[in-house]
């Protein structure tokens, strides 16, 4: 029997990569995607060096034909997708006075529409094989912008609000059919190169546990997937102890 698959859409250098590594350690075949497959090679090599199995795909999560083909390929040649983590961010701040229609729409495509496409395709497969003995999970990564729209983040907040609504609707429809749909709110800076180079004062809080460790986010996602169905969490918010909310 093939190993079950954890499909990570948006397996970047921080959260997405950490989630892929965590599920690979847990016995899942990690299938990871970015628009450029070349950027996934270091993650793939690391997972394999650690004894795991990883397949990397260059795919545009906004294009229906790419998503359909990707899910079909994984299901038919690699194994059943039992975990989907949608982790595309698309955080691009801009004043609403300067925002262009093209950029606004692109952010919505990346952060919300792509979540719908991937969630729908995977859910169709999961529902067909759902059982009381089988754990199947869909996790959408949200942000502070999922809860409130800050100045300069109209596009990002609109997309993240919509992704949260998608997760709620899917949970209410698919939960009774045995599919665990969860939404995480990552409320705080994450330990990434972007934060280190762009916000050095915030990054300096790392020594005080003041920014989120991607490995700890991944542990929380693993915990969500392991929950028994009589005690599922739908929304999980993660933030450093010193973060205001």
Q: Residue ranges of the domains in the chain?
A: 5-238
**192: CB partners within 8 A, 6+ apart:** 13, 14, 214
CATH code matching the domain that covers 5-238, chosen among 3.40.640.10, 3.40.50.720, 3.40.50.150, 3.90.660.10: 3.40.50.720
Contact 2/80 with Cβ under 8 angstroms?
yes
Which of 200, 218, 212, 221 has its CA nearest to residue 242? 212
The span from the CA of 224 to the CA of 137, in Å, is 8
Is residue 1 pLDDT above 80, yes or no?
no
Given this model, what pLDDT does residue 55 score? 98
The span from the CA of 160 to the CA of 147, in Å, is 8
Given this model, what pLDDT does residue 194 score? 83
> Distances from the Cα of 1 to the Cαs of 22, 25, 79, 124, 238, in angstroms?
21, 18, 8, 21, 35
Given this model, what pLDDT does residue 242 score? 94
Given this model, what pLDDT does residue 61 score? 97
The maximal CA–CA distance of the chain, rounded, in angstroms, is 55
Q: How many Å separate Cα 140 from the centre of its chain?
A: 5
pLDDT band at 32 (very low <50, low <70, confident <90, very high): very high
pLDDT band at 147 (very low <50, low <70, confident <90, very high): very high
φ, ψ dihedrals at 104, nearest 5°: -60, -45
Given this model, what pLDDT does residue 121 score? 98
Burial of 144 (0-12, 13-18, 19+ CB in 10 A): buried
DSSP 150: -
Given this model, what pLDDT does residue 2 score? 85
Which of 146, 148, 153, 162 has its CA nearest to residue 96? 153
Is residue 186 pLDDT above 90, yes or no?
yes
pTM score: 0.95
Which of 210, 124, 131 has its CA nearest to residue 178? 131
Mean pLDDT value of segment 230-237 = 97
Contact 8/19 with Cβ under 8 angstroms?
yes
Given this model, what pLDDT does residue 193 score? 86
pLDDT band at 8 (very low <50, low <70, confident <90, very high): very high
Given this model, what pLDDT does residue 221 score? 98
pLDDT single digits (tens) 85-136: 999 988 888 899 999 999 999 999 999 999 999 999 999 999 999 898 899 9
Is residue 15 pLDDT above 90, yes or no?
yes
φ, ψ dihedrals at 185, nearest 5°: -110, 110
Given this model, what pLDDT does residue 72 score? 98
Given this model, what pLDDT does residue 74 score? 98
Give me the torsion for CA of 221, 222, 228, 230, rounded to 10°.
-10
Percent of the chain with pLDDT over 90: 89
Quickly tell me which residue has 């596009």 as its tokens.
Answer: 155
Given this model, what pLDDT does residue 223 score? 98
DSSP 2: P
The upper half-sphere exposure of residue 70, i.e. CA atoms within 13 Å in the direction of its Cβ, equals: 30
């Amino acid at each position: 029997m093939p190993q079950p698959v954890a499909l990570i859409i948006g397996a970047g250098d921080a959260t997405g990569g950490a989630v892929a590594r965590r599920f690979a350690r847990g016995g899942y075949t990690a299938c990871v995607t970015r628009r450029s497959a070349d950027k996934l090679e270091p993650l793939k090599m690391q997972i394999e060096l650690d004894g795991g199995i990883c397949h990397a795909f260059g795919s545009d999560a906004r294009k229906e034909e790419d998503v359909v083909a990707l899910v079909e390929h994984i299901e038919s040649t690699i194994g059943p997708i039992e975990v989907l983590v949608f982790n595309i961010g698309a955080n691009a701040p801009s004043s609403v006075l300067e925002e262009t229609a093209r950029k606004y729409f692109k952010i919505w495509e990346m952060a919300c529409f792509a979540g719908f496409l991937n969630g729908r395709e995977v859910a169709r497969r999961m529902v067909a094989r759902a059982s009381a003995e089988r754990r199947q999970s869909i996790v959408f990564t949200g942000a502070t912008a999922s809860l409130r729209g800050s100045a300069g983040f109209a596009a990002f907040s609109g997309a993240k609000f919509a992704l949260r609504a998608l997760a709620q609707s899917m949970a209410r429809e698919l939960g009774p059919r045995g599919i665990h749909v969860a939404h995480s709110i990552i409320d705080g800076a994450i330990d990434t190169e972007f934060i280190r180079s762009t916000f050095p004062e915030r990054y300096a809080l790392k020594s005080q546990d003041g920014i989120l460790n991607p490995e700890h986010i991944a542990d929380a996602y693993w915990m969500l997937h392991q929950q028994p169905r009589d005690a599922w969490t739908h929304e999980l918010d993660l933030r450093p102890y010193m973060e205001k909310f």
